[in-house]
């Protein structure tokens, strides 16, 4: 077996495998790695990803795409230096509709991705989540907090899949000496999110740009913190290239209530939308704010993109997507007789 300390030769292109490479975050990571001279092999089965996210890479000699379910055996010719495991449904709509697939990709998919890293002597990074903290009783959430998760609730399929994936990665690290990295991702937003994603940013933007009511669950006093995708990619890359094997929170610690966020979305979009309220879903976290002390001290990382700046870029993408959908639905006009 190749050594887990394998590194690319000086002057060569490091080879990165990205599972979930056609998803929102996975496709941004693919672009980030290509821009830094990596050869990238993306793997996705399009359950929640889309070919539109990687269509711009067609013909790029440094990019290869494999359509495959990562819970199946992963066999690749040639060297692999880094495995970035991003495959998983990540929005409540997706994992509530696909609970078994979510658990399988967190367990079997992580097992296969770790097996690939072990076989190739590659470094492995797991895209974990702030959901491992559940509905936290500690605020903000440091990496040392073990969480408050309901394992049998409707969100348990996602929360426990990621918690198991972290445990499996650490078992491979301890037993097989695999160089593993664990990033706990907090709410991230940006272009390429689906209009029907279900998470708060695409939900509010889709509603506001259509002048529909913004749906706030509960009383709106629950908090979130939003990190723009380019900041996240920078933090993840720094973690992979570091010597930090402990979990690291990567997110923006600027906390905002959902009600404040709804008003901000209406303001920046110039929408005529009003705000309506619906019951809070079961086990929905009341507070979500990362303690990024470890990322600051160990990685030299902190977010750079302000919320207004990031929302501006995201709004432009969503506005174009909504216009494209409207054009696609518009019936063709009658032809004139010549």
DSSP 94-161: HHHH-HHHHHHIIIIIHHHHHHHHHHHT-EEEEEEEGGGGBS-SSSSB-TT---B--TTSTTHHHHHH
Q: How many angstroms separate the CA atoms of 287 and 37, rounded?
A: 39
The end-to-end CA distance of the chain, in Å, is 73
Strand partners, 24: none
Q: How many angstroms separate the CA atoms of 144 and 269, rounded?
A: 39
Q: How many angstroms separate the CA atoms of 172 and 126, rounded?
A: 12
Establish whether 133 is a catalytic residue.
no
Concatenating the DSSP letter of every residue in 185-235 gives E--EE-TT--TT--SHHHHHHHHHHTTPPEEEETTS--EEE-EEHHHHHHH
Q: Which domains does the chain have, with CATH numbers?
A: 15-189+227-253+286-304 (3.40.50.720)
**Which pLDDT tens digits describe the chain residue by residue (338 residues)?**
333 455 564 457 999 999 999 999 999 999 999 999 999 999 999 999 999 999 999 999 999 999 999 999 999 999 999 999 999 999 989 999 999 999 999 999 999 999 999 999 999 999 999 999 999 999 999 999 999 999 999 999 999 999 999 999 999 999 999 999 999 999 999 999 998 888 999 999 999 999 999 999 999 999 999 999 999 999 999 999 999 999 999 999 999 999 999 999 999 999 999 999 999 888 888 889 999 999 999 999 999 999 999 999 999 999 999 988 888 877 655 443 43
Cα-based distances in Å from 296 to 94, 109, 193, 249, 300: 32, 30, 27, 10, 5
Cα-based distances in Å from 145 to 27, 132, 136, 236, 271: 30, 10, 9, 20, 40
Q: Which of 82, 95, 158, 228 is flagged as catalytic?
A: 158
Q: What is the model's pTM?
A: 0.92
């Amino acid at each position: 077996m190749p050594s887990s300390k394998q590194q690319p030769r000086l002057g060569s292109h490091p080879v990165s495998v990205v599972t979930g490479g056609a998803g929102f975050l996975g496709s941004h990571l693919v672009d980030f790695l290509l821009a830094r001279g990596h050869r990238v092999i993306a793997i996705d089965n399009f359950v929640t990803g889309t070919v539109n996210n990687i269509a711009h890479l067609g013909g790029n000699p440094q990019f290869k795409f494999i359509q495959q379910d990562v819970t199946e055996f992963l066999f690749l010719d040639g060297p692999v230096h880094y495995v970035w495991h991003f495959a998983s449904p990540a929005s409540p709509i997706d994992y509530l509709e696909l609970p078994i697939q979510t658990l399988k990709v967190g367990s079997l998919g992580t097992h296969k991705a770790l097996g690939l890293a072990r076989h190739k002597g590659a470094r492995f990074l797991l895209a974990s989540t702030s959901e491992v903290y559940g509905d936290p009783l500690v605020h903000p959430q440091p990496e040392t907090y073990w969480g408050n998760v309901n394992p049998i609730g409707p969100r348990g399929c996602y929360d426990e899949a990621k918690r198991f994936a972290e445990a499996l990665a650490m078992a491979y690290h301890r037993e097989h000496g695999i160089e593993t990295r664990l990033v706990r991702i907090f709410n991230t937003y940006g272009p390429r999110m689906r209009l029907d994603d279900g998470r708060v940013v695409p939900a509010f933007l889709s509603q506001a740009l259509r002048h529909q009511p913004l749906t706030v669950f509960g009383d709106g006093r629950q908090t979130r913190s939003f990190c723009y995708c380019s900041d996240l990619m920078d933090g993840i890359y720094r973690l992979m290239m570091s010597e930090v094997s402990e979990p690291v929170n990567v997110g923006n610690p600027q906390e905002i209530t959902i009600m404040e966020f709804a008003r901000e979305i209406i303001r920046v979009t110039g929408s005529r939308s009003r705000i309506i309220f619906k019951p809070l879903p079961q086990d929905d976290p009341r507070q979500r704010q990362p303690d990024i002390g470890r990322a600051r001290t160990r990685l030299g990382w902190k977010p750079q993109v302000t919320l207004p700046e990031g929302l501006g870029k995201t709004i432009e993408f969503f506005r174009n997507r909504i216009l494209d959908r409207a054009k696609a639905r518009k019936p063709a006009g009658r032809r004139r007789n010549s």
